[in-house]
Amino acid sequence: MKIKDNHINYVEFKAKDLEKIKTFYKTCFDWFFTDYGPTYIAFSESGLQGGFEKTESEIVNGVLVVLYHKNLDLIKNKIIKSNGKISKDIFSFTGGRRFHFIDPAGNELAIWSE
């Protein structure tokens, strides 16, 4: 399936214990995991790809919805012009680049690109 601009592409959760969360989702739902160092694991075979980021903080809203867009600068400027706020500017990670934003209702989402 081709990745499309502006579609939900990835869901990211928070977890305090990545080994425990891997065991839970593998046992209950047969998800598969890929480790990306000590603070991040990605999952597949769940209907939508996603990951778990290790955190020591209290988990209040543990889900980050990640959209895709081939031009991060273009979509970032559209968000700013539409009264969205950038909460984490563009940064690189294994596999691409992304940024986070807050929508007018206060929800945080992210957008990534290769």
> The whole model's pTM is what?
0.80
- Residue 3 and residue 59 in one domain: yes
47 & 74 share domain:
no
Same domain, yes or no: 7 and 49: yes
**In which residue are the tokens 């739902």 written?**
29
Please check whether residues 56 and 14 belong to one and the same domain: yes
pLDDT category at 107 given cuts 50, 70, 90 is confident
Does 59 lie in the same domain as 9? Answer: yes
- Kindly tell me the burial class for residue 102, based on how many C-beta atoms sit within 10 Å of its own C-beta (0-12, 13-18, 19 or more): middle
Q: Which domain holds residue 75?
A: 69-114
Q: Supply the pLDDT for residue 52.
A: 94
Q: What is the mean pLDDT of the chain?
A: 93
Is there a single domain that holds both residue 18 and residue 34? yes
In terms of domains, do 77 and 96 share one? yes
* CATH code of residue 29: 3.10.180.10
Gyration radius of the chain over CA positions: 15
- Cβ-contact 53, 41 below 8 angstroms: no
pLDDT, position 59: 87
Q: Are residues 44 and 98 in the same domain?
A: no
pLDDT tens-digit map of 41-76: 999 999 899 999 999 998 877 899 999 999 999 999
Judgement on whether residues 55 and 1 belong to the same structural domain of the protein: yes
pLDDT at 104: 83
